[in-house]
Amino acid sequence: MRLLIYSLAILGITAMTSVTPPAAAQQSYSGGLVVADHPVAAQAGLEVLEQGGNAVDAAVATSFCLSVVRPYSCGIGGGGFMIVNLPAHNGAPKVTTALNYRETAPRSVQPDHFEKLGDSLASRFTGHAVAIPGTVAGLLSVLDQFGSLDRAAVLAPAIRAAEQGFAADAHYVETAHELVEWLEESPGRTTTHPFLWKRMLREGRVTEGDTIKLPEQARALRLIAEQGADAFYKGEIADAIIKTVQEYGGVMTPADLTSYKPSQVKPLRGDFRGLTILTMPPPSSGGIAILQMAGLLERVEQRENTTLGKLRHNSGKYVHLVAEAMKHAFADRAEWLGDAAFVSVPVDHLLSDAYLDSLAKTISLDQTKPPEAYGTSLAAVDDSGTSHFCVVDQWGGAVSCTETINLEFGSRLAVEEFGFFLNNEMDDFTTISGVANAFGLKQSDLNLPAPGKRPLSSMTPILAINDAGEAQLLVGASGGPRIITSTFQTLLNAIVFKMNAQDAVAAPRFHHQWRPNVLSLEEQWAPGDGQGIASLEDMRAFMEGISEWDALHRTLESAGHKTGPIKLVGAVQFARKQADGWTGAADPRKGGAAAGR
Ligand code: GLY
């Protein structure tokens, strides 16, 4: 049957659809909106908005709650980036700023740290993997400066979730299964990681609906509510962090923790089809990459005297063109980017008209090129964790924030006394020259570790404003380098293809990170096996799916792309202002929610 349908389809007997999905009506909110990748965290932010809190109060509440309910994605053992845009309100001036609370390398870590250890994997699952966490310092700094509620109020929902527990959802269980496989890969791991094995995975038996409680983390959060950031960076919690890191071989000291400081910087700015994008400068690589990709595609449109929107969404020609922009941006990421506080990053050059003009000229409409033809390489490189949320308040204040502990459950090392996991952000450095990190990203020596340096990140919180400086759109994702490509595709879906929030987030996605030289297509894109066809309508849709899939592959193959399947390209959270209020969508790939009033 499947073969017959397939044959009919490639003979062109089925019609190709050529329309962008229609923008269906979606619930809109004028009194505030929170979109997070867990419904309990979205609700925590909403609760704070309902108490009269502003977007910063709600963002801090959402983040602390995510630390509890998405303990494998982000949390107080990790770090993040936040873009804030608040209108003048109640005598307080307008605020437009970016918070960098990315983790830093311990002070004794030199560029050859991992080379000397002789183990590039030490940056993943040992004490050497752990960078100084920045989340608590970052959140409390932004709350102190721009929030309106006190610590107790914004931490209350997270403390409640940790004490009363939350239900393991499908995403939790799926992640748990991957971790069970990892623990069972190597004898003894279940014994060396007892908190992960027993508490979080229930010895491999965790199922959907199980209640997960974290009373130890509730105690940490109470201490933070009472004493502020010092409770985390000094005293009992700090002692427990150092004990854990050193027990697993790491070199972090108490002085590393007490000297941690978040930094506040000017957001990176760029134009995107009538809006001004505010995003994160280095050590985020995503801000530069998104602005480069947008600039390249606009130049190709001008050269060809057409618009991307005239192509069919996710058709072969469209995927090819966007992938070409991705390849240039990721080639430059690999060559030029690192922590700008330590190394010189040519941000202005990478985003200059002259440079983007020169790259855009190399983009062919129908042929891809070998990796050496992308970006500007001085020398060839030798060759799920993370959570994004969006908050808007009743006054138009907005926060777009991405946080991470890097891989799922970070270093997998728990600070057991306080019920949270430590990041493995050291793996985002170039640990050994020319060696790829866990995401297959090869990065230049500009990203080697150094005392107090922050590793390059793909986290890309975006907040787009209009000419009056008012927030119009918030977006970002989790997924390592797929953060950049999933965020960019969601922007294109919403702005160029005019999809509503839900469709813009849910549409199938693709990913190219230059090296490896593979164009990955999400598995959900492929037509199914035809099981469950119950009507003529189902049959028609199924055949159209096969026909489109086949046409896509033929176009990409003839353009010279090597394609491959990928389970997911990121998990995106998105919010957008419309005439009657804000609409938002959490990615169905992770199971979050939009909660508004
Ligand atoms: N840890 C993932 C990233 O920051 O890119």
In the 3-class helix/strand/coil scheme, how is 407-440 assigned residue by residue? CCCCCCCEEHHHCEECCCHHHHCCCCCCCCCCCC
pLDDT at 23 over 50: no
- The pair of three-digit structure tokens given for residue 13, joined into one six-digit string: 């007997």
Asked whether 285 lines ligand 1 (CB < 6 A), one says: no
C-alpha of residue 539 to centroid of ligand 1, in Å: 42
**Is pLDDT at 7 greater than 70 in this prediction?**
no
Indicate the residue among 165, 183, 207 that finishes a domain: 207
The response to whether residue 458 sits with its C-beta less than 6 Å from ligand 1 reads: yes
For the segment 331-351, the average pLDDT, to the nearest whole number, is 97
Same domain (yes/no): 145, 82: yes
Pairing of strands 519-522, 593-596: unpaired
Residue 257: closest CA among 131, 413, 404, 100: 131
Closest CA to 509 of 363, 259, 300, 323: 323
Other residues' Cβ atoms within 10 Å of the Cβ of residue 213 = 16
Instruction: Give the torsion through C-alpha atoms of 218, 223, 226, 227, to 10 deg.
Output: -150
For residue 193, tell me if it sits in a domain.
yes
Mean pLDDT of the chain: 93
How far is Cα 428 from Cα 80, in angstroms, rounded to an integer? Answer: 13
* 285 Cα distance to chain centroid: 12
Q: Which among 99, 28, 30 is positioned nearest to 59, based on CA atoms?
A: 99
- 422 occurs within a structural domain: yes
pLDDT score recorded for residue 377: 55
Q: Can 97 be counted among the known catalytic residues?
A: no
Q: How far is the CA of 478 from the centre of ligand 1 (A)?
A: 8
Q: Please check whether residue 278 lies inside any domain of the structure.
A: no
Q: Which of 386, 430, 431, 485 is catalytic?
A: 386
d(CA 60, CA 45): 8
Task: State the distance from the centre of ligand 1 to the C-alpha of 334, rounded, in angstroms.
Answer: 14
| Ligand 1: centre distance to CA 457 (Å) | 4
pLDDT tier at 493 (50, 70, 90 boundaries)? very high
Q: What is the pLDDT of residues 106-134, one digit of tens each?
A: 999 999 999 999 887 899 999 999 999 99
Residue 420 in any domain: the answer is yes
* Least-confidence region, from 59-63, 208-212, 405-409, 439-443: 439-443
- Of 294-298, 356-360, 382-386, the poorest mean pLDDT is in 382-386
Please state, for a pLDDT cut of 90, what percent of the chain lies above it: 89
Ligand 1 geometric centre to CA of 480 (Å)? 5
> Residue 385 has what pLDDT?
78
Cis check: omega of the bond before 215, within 30 degrees of 0? no
Do 61 and 98 fall within a single domain?
yes
54, 195: one domain: no
Protein residue with least CA distance to atom 1, ligand 1:
406
Domain with 199 in it: 175-207
Closest atom of ligand 1 to 423 CA is 1
Indicate whether 557 belongs to any domain: no
Q: Is 402 in the pocket of ligand 1 (CB under 6 A)?
A: no
90 lies in the same domain as 195: no
Nearest in space to 222 (alpha carbons), one of 208, 236, 211, 210: 236
- Asked whether 160 and 212 are in contact (CB, 8 A), the reply is no
Residue 116 in domain: yes
Q: What does each C-alpha distance from 417 to 159, 238, 420 come to in angstroms?
A: 15, 11, 8
From the list 49, 47, 58, the residue with the least C-alpha distance to 30 is 49
Helix (H/G/I), strand (E/B), else coil: 101: strand
Q: Is 573 helix (H, G, I), strand (E, B) or coil?
A: strand
Residue 285 has pLDDT above 90, yes or no: yes
Q: For the residues 292-317, what does the mean pLDDT come to? A: 97
Q: Is the CB of 460 inside a 6 Å radius of any atom of ligand 1?
A: no
Q: Which of 81, 457, 482, 513 to mutate to test the pocket of ligand 1 (most atoms within 8 A of CB)?
A: 457
Spacing, Cα 181 to ligand 1 middle (Å): 23
pLDDT of residue 542 exceeding 50: yes
CA dihedral 98, 101, 103, 108 (to 10 degrees): 100
Angle of helix 286-304 relative to helix 353-361, nearest 10 degrees? 60
Ligand 1 pocket, 404 CB below 6 A?
yes
Domain closes at, from 460, 488, 515: 460
Is 287 a domain residue?
no
Mutate to test the pocket of ligand 1, among 123, 135, 404 (most ligand atoms within 8 A of CB): 404
Ligand 1: which atom is nearest the Cα of residue 405? Answer: 1
Q: Give residue-wise pLDDT tens across range 350-363.
A: 999 999 999 999 99
The answer to whether the CB of 270 falls within 8 A of the CB of 295 is yes
What would the two tokens of residue 126 be? 């040992």
- The reply to whether 194 and 162 lie within a common domain is no
Burial of 508 (0-12, 13-18, 19+ CB in 10 A): middle
In this structure, are 129 and 231 located in the same domain? yes
Question: Does residue 489's CB lie within 6 angstroms of at least one atom of ligand 1?
Answer: no
Ligand 1 touching residue 279 (CB < 6 A):
no
Name the domain boundary from 422, 441, 460: 460
Q: Are residues 165 and 243 in the same domain?
A: yes
Work out the average pLDDT over 203-211. 98
Mark whether 195 and 183 lie in a shared domain. Answer: yes
Structure tokens, 117:
């250890």
pLDDT computed for residue 384 by the predictor: 64
Q: What tens digit of pLDDT does each residue of 386-400 get? A: 999 999 999 999 999
What is the per-residue pLDDT for 383? Answer: 32
Q: Does the pLDDT value for residue 477 go beyond 90?
A: yes
What is the token pair recorded at 268?
């990176």
Rg of the chain on CA atoms, in Å: 23
In a shared domain, residues 91 and 165: yes
Half-sphere exposure of 20 (CA within 13 A, CB side): 19
With a 6 A CB cut-off, is 502 part of the ligand 1 pocket? no
* Over residues 392-412, mean pLDDT: 98
Indicate if 52 and 201 belong to the same structural domain: no
Q: What is the pLDDT of residue 25?
A: 64
Task: Evaluate: CB of 457 within 6 angstroms of ligand 1.
Answer: yes
Which DSSP letter does residue 164 get? Answer: H
Q: Whose CA is nearest to atom 4 of ligand 1?
A: 457
Same domain, 161 and 222: yes
What are 101's two structure tokens?
């609370």
Could you tell me how many residues make up the chain?
597
Please tell me if the CB atom of residue 443 comes closer than 6 angstroms to any atom of ligand 1: no
Claim to verify: residue 196 and residue 157 sit in the same structural domain: no
Q: Which residues contact 110 (CB under 8 A, 6 or more apart)?
A: 449, 450, 451
Structural domains in the chain (count):
2
424 inside domain? yes
